[in-house]
Amino acid sequence: MAPTASVSVSLHADPIGPLLLLEQWQQQVAPTPAETPAATCLFIGRVRGTTATGQPLDALELEHYPGMTEAQLQRLAIDCARRHPVAAVMVRHRMGLVLAGDAIVVVAVLADRRGAAQRCCQELLEALKQEAPFWKREWSSGVGEWVLGNTPLMPPDCESG
Amino acid sequence: MRVRLFAGLREAMGWSEQMVRAAAPATPLAVWHQLDLDGAWRAATGAPPEATPAGVPLPAGVRVAINQRFAPADTPLVDGDELAFLPPISGG
């Protein structure tokens, strides 16, 4: 049984700088180089510039369930950290109106080994896509359409974000 | 109990939350039919207009949360519960 990992989760109403958030978090969980685990896995998801039907996207509106969404992100991160020998897990997620190209989600994992860091990061990303209560509405030419569900992980669209 | 709706389901019904007195023994599925959410959801998603018969699961992708945790649609409800119907979610 691995020691309990540090888990940090937050929602952001304003645009986020993924690398700045990563830096701030690393300084909190591993203040000195000697304390920093050898492997860091980072995923940044950005809003695609086109809608599901290929139209130019102006913005993505992201609705959530205040209280449940935060609690669910925390549960998913803790569960994932229990399945892998990792030291720390960070999730940063946008809410509200997110412009094309802006970061919508950032997941980072610190671990002693790259395999655990990468597997935990990927698993957690998939879990939050399927199990975190968020709803996306794509805005294009003044018309908003709710997105019903997620893209699959594998082809035809193997990009995630 | 308090019933909450989100996203497309909220807009299809025109309300985000209301207090509901559910007929005992209450389950999320029974409340789904009691509030006629089925017809509104089917109209909003372009699904066939036939109502989901009572006793069968909710439409594909629609999930239930009780007191802000996912729960099966046949979970017994108690007074004071916060019940939410969640249309298909898309995080990340």
> B76 touching A, CB under 8 A?
no
Q: What are phi and psi of A141, to 5 degrees?
A: 50, 45
- What pLDDT, on a 0 to 100 scale, did the predictor assign at position B24? 78
- Identify all chain A residues contacting B65, using CB atoms and an 8 Å cutoff: 65, 68, 133
**Contact residues for A48 (Cβ-Cβ < 8 A; gap 6+):** A57, A100, A159, A161
- What pLDDT, on a 0 to 100 scale, did the predictor assign at position B42? 84
Among A140-144, A148-152, B33-37, name the one with the lowest average pLDDT. A148-152
Name which of A47, A10, A158 is nearest B92 in CA terms: A47
**Contact residues for A37 (Cβ-Cβ < 8 A; gap 6+):** A30, A87, A88, A110, A111, A112, A117
- In sequence order, the β-bridge partners of residue B70 are B65
pLDDT at A132 over 80: yes
- What pLDDT, on a 0 to 100 scale, did the predictor assign at position A47? 96
Residue ranges in chain B whose pLDDT is less than 70: 48-56
- What pLDDT, on a 0 to 100 scale, did the predictor assign at position A1? 47
- Identify all chain B residues contacting A149, using CB atoms and an 8 Å cutoff: 61, 88-90
pLDDT at A149 over 60: yes
Query: Residues of chain A with pLDDT > 70: what percent?
Result: 91
Read out DSSP for B45-83?
A: HT--SSPPPTTSPPSTT-EEEETTEEE-TTPPP-TT-EE
Task: State pLDDT tens for residues A39-74.
Answer: 999 999 999 999 989 999 999 999 999 999 999 999
Nearest to B88 among A65, A128, A149 (CB): A149
Cβ–Cβ under 8 Å, residues B4 and A64: no
Task: State pLDDT tens for residues A95-117.
Answer: 999 999 999 999 999 999 999 99
- What pLDDT, on a 0 to 100 scale, did the predictor assign at position A160? 46
The residue-averaged pLDDT of A137-142 equals 95
Distance from CA of A123 to the nearest CA of B (A): 12
> A132 touching B, CB under 8 A?
yes
Q: Which amino acid is at A87?
A: A
- In sequence order, the β-bridge partners of residue A109 are A41, A89
- What pLDDT, on a 0 to 100 scale, did the predictor assign at position B84? 98
The span from the CA of A88 to the CA of B88, in Å, is: 30
